[in-house]
């Protein structure tokens, strides 16, 4: 299978599973083994996981796909990403510290796990899912707070407790299975590998669990829409658009 995916990638075209625009379900391999209930579980970004030993042929035959993606769902997700506010949010996050391609793939995995209809692919569910994905994967808490003003508006300080309850409900609705493997994220990306959100690769400056910034929770104040991207001394991101 690995070679097959690589082959799709090399051809730089969409996965054969989505070649048809018909409502043929797209099957991927099972979504993530449950890693644990703790929100402290983090996926390492930098080192690749060592290859697993080859599964026994019987176990391979018995493995049933648990993630079935319809083209309407993938299309609805990309339409949601095209939302003006979400596009501005992604533009603001130039270093991809809050919403890199893996975190965005996790959002889609959550939508599937919780069984949202395409009508529920909306801003609020996007931001709540992205917040939970950050909880799962990121060691620095400060950056994810930037989600609050984008999701809740200028009154975010009075509304964020309810936002956090939404996150808890989402987590519970997934039976506390919020970990998503790197491999699963990459399989989601391979459904439409050329989409621009999958180009959101985080710089090595921000990879891994190493902190490059002094940790001071009072240093960072969420800003929300209408501001320039967060200045990053490491990447020396220019402040001009």
Binding site residues, Zn ion, CB under 5 A = 95, 232, 234-235
CB of 93 to Zn ion, least distance (A): 10
Q: Is the distance from CB of 45 to CB of 201 less than 8 angstroms?
A: no
CA 127 to chain centre: 10
Report the distance separating Cα 75 and Cα 78, nearest Å: 5
CB of 99 to Zn ion, least distance (A): 13
CB of 199 to Zn ion, least distance (A): 16
Question: What H or E segment, with its residue span, contains residue 28?
Answer: strand 26-28
219: which 2 tokens? Answer: 């240093």
CB of 100 to Zn ion, least distance (A): 11
**Helical H segments across the chain, by residue range:** 2-10, 57-62, 71-81, 84-92, 101-114, 123-137, 147-152, 156-173, 182-191
CB nearer to Zn ion: pick between 73 and 93: 93
Report the distance separating Cα 125 and Cα 48, nearest Å: 30
CB nearer to Zn ion: pick between 37 and 212: 212
CB nearer to Zn ion: pick between 35 and 237: 237
CA 59 to chain centre: 29
Report the distance separating Cα 98 and Cα 159, nearest Å: 20
CB of 63 to Zn ion, least distance (A): 39
Q: Which residues pair with 69 in a beta bridge?
A: 26
For 101, half-sphere exposure in the C-beta direction (CA atoms, 13 angstrom radius) is 22
CB nearer to Zn ion: pick between 94 and 177: 94
CB nearer to Zn ion: pick between 95 and 103: 95
CB of 194 to Zn ion, least distance (A): 25
CB nearer to Zn ion: pick between 96 and 136: 96
């Amino acid at each position: 299978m690995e070679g097959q995916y690589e082959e799709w990638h090399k051809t730089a075209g969409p996965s054969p599973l989505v070649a048809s625009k018909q409502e043929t379900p797209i099957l991927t391999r099972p979504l993530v083994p449950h890693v644990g209930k703790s929100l402290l579980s983090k996926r390492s970004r930098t080192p690749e996981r060592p290859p697993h030993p080859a599964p026994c042929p019987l176990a391979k035959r018995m493995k049933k796909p648990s993630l079935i993606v319809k083209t309407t769902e993938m299309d609805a997700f990309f339409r949601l990403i095209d939302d003006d506010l979400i596009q501005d949010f992604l533009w603001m996050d130039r270093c991809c510290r809050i919403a890199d391609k893996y975190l965005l793939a996790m959002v889609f995995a959550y939508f599937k796990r919780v069984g949202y209809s395409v009508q529920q692919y909306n801003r609020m569910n996007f931001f709540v899912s992205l917040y939970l994905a950050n909880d799962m994967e990121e060691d620095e808490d400060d950056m994810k707070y930037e989600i609050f003003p984008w999701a809740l508006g200028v009154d975010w300080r009075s509304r964020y407790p309810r936002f956090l309850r939404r996150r808890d409900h989402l987590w519970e609705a997934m039976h506390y299975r919020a970990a998503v493997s790197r491999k699963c994220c990459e399989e989601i990306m391979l459904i439409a590998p050329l989409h621009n959100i999958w180009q959101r690769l985080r710089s090595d400056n921000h990879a891994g669990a190493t902190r490059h910034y002094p940790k001071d929770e009072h240093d960072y104040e969420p800003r929300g829409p209408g501001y320039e991207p967060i200045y990053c001394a490491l990447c020396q991101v220019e402040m001009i658009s």
